[in-house]
């Protein structure tokens, strides 16, 4: 895998984490008034018009039908399950606790990349994952009782679904266009979660229109970015940058609720940043050393 592709994917992952962190905050706000499955359906339905416009703008409508259907159906099913589980979890747990458990996903992605993608994981990647996870635990200091709750099990299951979806997306990207990955994931999420949410559907309050618009934009842009991240780069290199969600969490806490991070949060954040910069430096070094 060319180092330049890895650097491009790291940038895409950083953008994806930012958009999805904003989306999580919106989902948590909506979760106070709507069932988890409906929140997952709203995530897909709100973004679907933007996705359709994007496909038309790219002029790739024909590419939507030249796809590997079994893997797309698998990703769609997993996507519905993942978002529904996570929407339930963040209603039961604090974001800090939910994120701490969800951050097992980079490890799962790296482990799956070895047998499925045939990637060779260098020691530096394992170090970055381990150090980043240490930084998360130091920063968040989650309530130990939360790890033995139904919400914790939901987050763990959601993280597993996310890891499988990421690997499946990487496999699909070898043959299918990016627009098809984004379109079918969003469409299947809309239909699947929508049908499951229909029996308990709660009428949407007009006052939540702004939140739903924000959900549409962040979900659409996040899906584009995450697709590009795993399309071009090595999964084991890209995955550790999931940890940058901590920085977004700190920023959102301050911006929305004026919560100032304590010294543990700052220390953990510094460790995560250091591990990320170390990985980037390793990839930059590989670019410099490439033969002309």
What would the 3-class secondary structure string for the chain be?
CCHHHHHHHHHHHHHHHHHHHHHHHHHHHHHCCCCHHHHHHHHHHHHHHHHHHHHHHHCCCHHHHCCCHHHHHHHHHHHHHHHHHHHHHHHHCCHHHHHHHHCCHHHHHHHHHCCCCCCCCCHHHHHHHHHHHHHHHHHHCCCHHHHHCHHHHHHHHHHHHHHHHHHHHHHHCCCCCHHHHHHHHHHHHHHHHHHHHHHHCCCCCHHHHHHHHHHHHHHHHHHHHHHHHHHHCCHHHHHHHHHHHHHHHHHHHHHHHCCCCCHHHHHHHHHHHHHHHHHHHHHHHHHHHCCC
Residue 16 has pLDDT above 70, yes or no: yes
Percent of the chain with pLDDT over 90: 26
Residue 30 has pLDDT above 70, yes or no: yes
Residues with Cβ within 8 Å of residue 36, at least 6 apart in sequence? 84, 85, 87, 88, 91
Average pLDDT in the chain? 82
Reading the block at residue 250, the tokens are 């700190």
Single pTM value for the model: 0.78
pLDDT of residue 212: 95
pLDDT of residue 34: 92
d(CA 25, CA 96): 12
d(CA 98, CA 169): 24
The pLDDT-based confidence of 49 (bands split at 50, 70, 90) is very high
210-242 as b/e, with b when 16 or more CB fall inside 10 Å? Answer: ebbebbbbbbbbbbbbbbbbbbbbbbbbbbbbb
Residue 51 has pLDDT above 90, yes or no: yes
* Mean pLDDT in residue range 130-136: 77
Residue 289 has pLDDT above 50, yes or no: no
Residue 56 has pLDDT above 90, yes or no: yes
Model confidence over 170-209: pLDDT tens digits? Answer: 899 888 888 999 999 999 989 998 998 999 999 999 999 9
The pLDDT-based confidence of 225 (bands split at 50, 70, 90) is very high
Residues in the chain: 292
Q: In whole angstroms, what separates CA 278 from the centre of its chain?
A: 22
Of 111-115, 157-161, 267-271, which gets the smallest average pLDDT? Answer: 267-271
Residues with Cβ within 8 Å of residue 10, at least 6 apart in sequence? 229, 233, 237, 238, 241, 279, 280, 283
d(CA 112, CA 250): 30
pLDDT of residue 233: 76
The pLDDT-based confidence of 280 (bands split at 50, 70, 90) is low
Residue 216 has pLDDT above 90, yes or no: yes
How many domains does one find in the chain? 1
* Mean pLDDT in residue range 61-88: 88
Q: What are phi and psi of 129, to 5 degrees?
A: -65, -45
pLDDT of residue 73: 93
What phi-psi label fits residue 134: left (phi over 0), alpha (psi between -120 and 50 degrees) or beta? alpha
Q: In terms of pLDDT, which residue wins out, 42 or 60?
A: 42
pLDDT of residue 279: 67
Contact assessment for residue 84 and residue 192, using Cβ atoms and an 8 Å cutoff = no
* Mean pLDDT in residue range 237-254: 76
* Mean pLDDT in residue range 133-144: 68
Domain hosting residue 154, numbered range:
3-289
């Amino acid at each position: 895998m060319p180092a330049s592709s890895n650097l491009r994917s790291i940038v895409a992952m950083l953008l994806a984490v930012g958009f999805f962190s904003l989306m999580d905050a919106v989902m948590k706000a909506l979760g106070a008034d709507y069932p988890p499955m409906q929140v997952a359906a709203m995530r897909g339905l709100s973004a679907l018009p933007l996705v359709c416009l994007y496909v038309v703008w790219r002029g790739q409508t024909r590419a939507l039908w030249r796809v590997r259907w079994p893997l797309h159906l698998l990703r769609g099913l997993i996507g519905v399950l993942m978002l529904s589980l996570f929407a339930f979890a963040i209603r039961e747990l604090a974001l800090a606790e939910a994120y701490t458990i969800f951050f097992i996903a980079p490890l799962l992605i790296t482990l799956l990349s070895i047998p499925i993608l045939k990637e060779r994981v260098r020691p530096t990647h394992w170090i970055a994952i381990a150090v980043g996870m240490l930084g998360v635990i130091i920063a968040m200091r989650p309530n130990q009782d939360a790890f033995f709750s139904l919400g914790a099990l939901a987050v763990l299951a959601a993280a597993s679904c996310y890891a499988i979806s990421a690997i499946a997306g990487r496999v699909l990207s070898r043959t299918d266009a990016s627009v098809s990955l984004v379109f079918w994931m969003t469409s299947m999420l809309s239909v699947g979660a929508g049908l499951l949410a229909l029996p308990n559907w709660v009428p949407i309050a007009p006052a939540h229109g702004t939140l739903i618009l924000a959900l549409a934009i962040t979900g659409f842009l996040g899906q584009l970015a995450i697709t590009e991240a795993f399309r071009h780069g090595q999964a084991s290199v890209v995955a550790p940058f999931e940890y940058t969600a901590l920085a977004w969490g700190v920023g959102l806490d301050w911006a929305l609720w004026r919560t100032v991070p304590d010294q543990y949060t700052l220390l953990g954040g510094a460790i995560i940043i250091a591990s990320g910069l170390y990985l980037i430096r390793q990839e930059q070094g590989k670019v410099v050393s490439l033969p002309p």
